[in-house]
Amino acid sequence: MEPFTVHTGRAVPLRRSNVDTDQIIPSDYLKRVSRTGFADGLFREWRAAGDFVLDQPEYAGATVLLAGPDFGTGSSREHAVWALQDAGFRVVVSSRFADIFRNNALKGGLLPVVLGSDAVEGLMAAVETAPQTELTVDLQRCQVDCGGQNYRFELEESARQRLLQGLDDIALTLRYEEEILAFEASRPSWKPKTIPAIT
Amino acid sequence: MTARTLAEKVWESHVVHREEGEPDLLYIDLHLVHEVTSPQAFDGLRLAGRPVRRPDLTQATEDHNIPTDLLGGLIEDPVSRIQVETLRANCSEFGVPLRSMAQDKQGVVHVIGPDLGLTQPGTTVVCGDSHTSTHGAFGALAFGIGTSEVEHVLATQTLPQRKPKTMAVTVQGALPSGVTAKDLILAVIAQIGTGGGQGHVIEYRGQAIEGLSMEGRMTVCNMSIEAGARAGLVAPDETTFEYLKGRPHAPQGAEWDRAVEAWRELRTDPDARFDREVVIDATALTPFVTWGTNPGQGAPLAAEIPDPSSFADPAERDAAERALAYMGLQGGTPLRAVAVDTVFIGSCTNGRLEDLRAAAEVLRGRHVADGVRALVVPGSMDVKAAAEAEGLDRVFTEAGAQWRNAGCSMCLGMNPDTLAPQERSASTSNRNFEGRQGRGGRTHLVSPAVAAATAVVGRLAAPADL
């Protein structure tokens, strides 16, 4: 995973709540077996309807998505994170994220920033007034700066360190191989097994 | 020892490694896999040269992409076919057992786990699918994960997780006659909202929950994710044990007795505290349907579609306006006046034998309304066989409904069963998102009984309306 330390970029305001992952990337894109190439599916239906904020020229090249509450609800598809990243996004800001989306984003290096709804509103208003405004999202200081607006955000320390250093979760876990083996030795014998398959 | 909730007990018994400031490393008892969220995970294993650590704790199935027509062989869509073939190749390469389409015991991933007796009380269950919460009905801690986490579990059989908060949803009193588990969970989601359970594991308890069958409990737990919860569970009891006994992968003989003894301990301690508690009065519930484009936008069938101006919160008002515009509906219209084109009975929410029985009871001796397409899709090939043994397939076909093979079908628009633009459905599935059942399709979430009555009337209806 590419480390995330500090990111500066322009932001696009998506004034919708309950943006579910079916809207972020429709299910027909999930038939693919690759991890990339999802940018053209991002918000496909809303873009097709026309006049969608992401397609307004003043927001072209934005790398920070400012969204309403309950972003990323619904399906567990990590493709939603991949689609946002493929389209150039590095950060999503919302007052509340769905748990699975948030986990997927942290695994993939897309930073989910939780701010209070007043702060999200303040940032949206700023970029609506002046779309060229740049935001700086600093994961070292856990702070978002945008003109005169400065907001602290929280992220659990373990996830923060993984992002800052771009660590591989699986390699980290495999350091505990002996503990995993010991746990496996202590599991009750009646726990379910899928093999042999029973017909 | 301090009093603990059921979720905390299951959690604590699976901690492999704990370190201050780090998420707990949890052991995973059962990993369910399907074709959509696994290919990139298997690719990751190959790149790193890692094996699947415990194929014997992993079960794969084909469900999302497959056609459900009774021909049972060919996947015409080349992209879907490649995805299913990729799963077959990956399972073969890594030694993971697979249930293939139209074959014995294949089905929707959250139907076959319980069908096969793999889903057991006190276990941890994960799958790259948000509706993994279904398995919580057995007192398992079961949650959906993304593809990176699928790879992590394949490689290590563990998952680092932050401990969720706990929430009790206590459903007091008994459900009135004609009110089902689906009506109950839709009403819960409407009350607490699509983000109401965020960061929590919900334990459903109270008289109405204890009175539910395993199928009903699975319907309730299945939709925990629609309330934003990490997982949902129900304490195991005699209903659970009776359901499990004799299933193919359930413990046998003396092992069964030891297992049941352990399972009986899986209850929230009397003085345990939940982080949040919600109380629902079951006796006040009636058949419940959705009118909008998220599962929290629901109302009693007897009500009218709300006028967006009735919402005090501007964000909710805006969301309701957008939803009604998408759905082609007007505030103030009685829900019973809404005409549908298609009825879908199936999915991991309502595709089990009891659901099919409930629908058949309504359709027996009646006929689907002119111009309405009705699909009945069993959740697994086992459910299909059991339904056919009772003659339910004939009830459906004689009523003019289509009888299918097992699969996710019209729940999610990834296979040939889809809605056309502006086509309206009454669906026993779990999501009414824009385009969920096909581009431009309009979905009303309902129970199997309401779906069947709606098929007969051609408008949203309950069996009591017939």
Q: Write the residue in A27, A96, A199 that is nearest to B414 by C-beta.
A: A27
Model confidence at B300: pLDDT above 80: yes
CB atoms within 10 A of CB A5: 12
The share of chain B scoring above pLDDT 70, in percent, equals 100
The share of chain B scoring above pLDDT 90, in percent, equals 97
Tell whether B145 is within 8 A of chain A (Cβ).
Answer: yes
Model confidence at A150: pLDDT above 80: yes
Average pLDDT over residues A87-110: 97
The share of chain A scoring above pLDDT 70, in percent, equals 100
Residue B85 pLDDT grade (very low, low, confident, very high; cuts 50, 70, 90): very high
Q: Write the residue in B230, B322, B439 that is nearest to A45 by C-beta.
A: B439
- Digit-coded pLDDT (tens) for B413-457: 999 999 999 999 999 999 999 999 999 999 999 999 999 999 999
Model confidence at B72: pLDDT above 80: no
State the pTM of this model. Answer: 0.97
User: Token pair 């990243």 is at which residue?
Assistant: A85
Chain A: nearest CA to B122, how far in angstroms? Answer: 9
Lowest mean pLDDT among B10-14, B313-317, B379-383: B313-317
Q: Write the residue in B29, B65, B128 that is nearest to A31 by C-beta.
A: B65
Chain A: nearest CA to B367, how far in angstroms? Answer: 33
Chain A interface disruption, residue of B225, B297, B432, most A CBs within 10 A: B225
Model confidence at B66: pLDDT above 80: yes
Q: Write the residue in B56, B83, B146 that is nearest to A100 by C-beta.
A: B146
pLDDT value of residue B1 = 67
Average pLDDT over residues A164-181: 95
B157 chain-A contacts, CB cut-off 8 A? 180, 184
Angle, alpha carbons A114-B279-B314 (nearest 5°):
45
Contacts of B178 (CB under 8 A, 6+ apart): B287, B449, B462, B463, B464
- Digit-coded pLDDT (tens) for B343-395: 999 999 999 999 999 999 999 999 999 999 999 999 999 999 999 999 999 99
- Digit-coded pLDDT (tens) for B324-333: 999 999 999 9
- Digit-coded pLDDT (tens) for B229-283: 999 999 999 999 999 999 999 999 999 999 999 999 999 999 999 999 999 999 9
Chain A interface disruption, residue of B116, B436, B443, most A CBs within 10 A: B436
Average pLDDT over residues B176-184: 97
Of all residues in chain B, the one with the smallest CA distance to A197 is B97
Tell whether A18 is within 8 A of chain B (Cβ).
Answer: yes
Residue A2 pLDDT grade (very low, low, confident, very high; cuts 50, 70, 90): confident
Query: A189: exposed, middle or buried (C-beta count within 10 Å: 0-12, 13-18, 19+)?
Result: exposed
Higher pLDDT, residue B90 or B71: B90
- Digit-coded pLDDT (tens) for A13-70: 999 999 999 999 999 999 999 999 999 999 999 999 999 999 999 999 999 999 999 9
For residue A155, the 8-state DSSP code is -
- Digit-coded pLDDT (tens) for B393-404: 999 999 999 999
B192 chain-A contacts, CB cut-off 8 A? none
Chain B interface disruption, residue of A1, A20, A23, A33, most B CBs within 10 A: A33
Helix (H, G, I), strand (E, B) or coil at A156: coil
State the average pLDDT for chain B.
Answer: 97
Chain A: nearest CA to B161, how far in angstroms? Answer: 9
- Digit-coded pLDDT (tens) for B186-211: 999 999 999 999 999 999 999 999 99
Residue A100 pLDDT grade (very low, low, confident, very high; cuts 50, 70, 90): very high
Q: Write the residue in B36, B97, B431 that is nearest to A74 by C-beta.
A: B431
